[in-house]
Amino acid sequence: MASGAASAPLALICGDDDYTVKQRARQLYEQWCGEAGGMDHEIVDAVAGNGQEALKRLGRLHEALQTLPFFGGAKIVWFKDCTFLGDDRTSASAAVTAALGELAETLKSFRWDGVRLLISGGKPDKRRSFFKTVEKLGTVELFVALSSDDRDWAARAESEALRVIRAGGKTIGAEATAELVTRVGPNLRALASEAEKLLLYVGDRSEILLEDVQLLTTRQKLAQAFALGEALGERNLGKLMRVLDQELWEIRAGIDRKKSEIGLLYGLLSKIRALLMLKDLRQRGILKPARDYSAFKVQLERIPPGAVPEDRRFNPLAGHPFVLFQAMRHTDNYELPELIRAMSVLLQANVQLVSSSLDEAMVLQKALIDIVGLGPRRSAATG
The tens digit of pLDDT for each residue in 53-86 reads: 999 999 999 999 988 766 667 899 999 999 999 9
Sequence-distant (6+) residues with CB within 8 A of 103 are 58, 61, 62, 130
Residue 158: which pLDDT band, with cuts at 50, 70 and 90? confident
Return the minimum-mean-pLDDT range out of 83-92, 109-118, 167-176, 219-228.
Answer: 219-228
Higher pLDDT, 342 or 73: 342
**Predicted pLDDT of residue 348:** 94
Map out the domains of the chain as residue ranges.
3-142, 153-216, 224-372
Which residues lie across from 75 on neighbouring strands?
A: 115
Note the CATH architecture for domain 224-372.
Answer: Up-down Bundle (1.20)
H/E run at residue 207: strand 207-208
| This model's pTM is above 0.85 | no
CATH of domain 153-216: 1.10.8.60
**Predicted pLDDT of residue 325:** 84
From residue 118, alpha-carbon distances to 74, 90, 122, 381 in Å are: 14, 21, 14, 48
Evaluate whether the domain defined by 3-142 bears CATH number 3.80.30.20: no
Per-residue pLDDT at 290 exceeds 60: yes
**Predicted pLDDT of residue 71:** 63
**Percent of the chain clearing pLDDT 70 (strictly above):** 91
Name all contacts of 363-367 with Cβ < 8 Å and 24+ positions apart: 363/261, 364/244, 364/248, 364/261, 364/264, 364/265, 365/241, 365/244, 367/265, 367/268
**Predicted pLDDT of residue 70:** 64
**Predicted pLDDT of residue 381:** 43
**Percent of the chain clearing pLDDT 90 (strictly above):** 52
The C-alpha atoms of residue 7 and residue 11 are separated, in whole angstroms, by 9
In the predicted model, what is the mean pLDDT of residues 163-192?
90
Per-residue pLDDT at 377 exceeds 80: no
Same CATH fold, 224-372 and 153-216? Answer: no
Mean pLDDT of the chain: 87
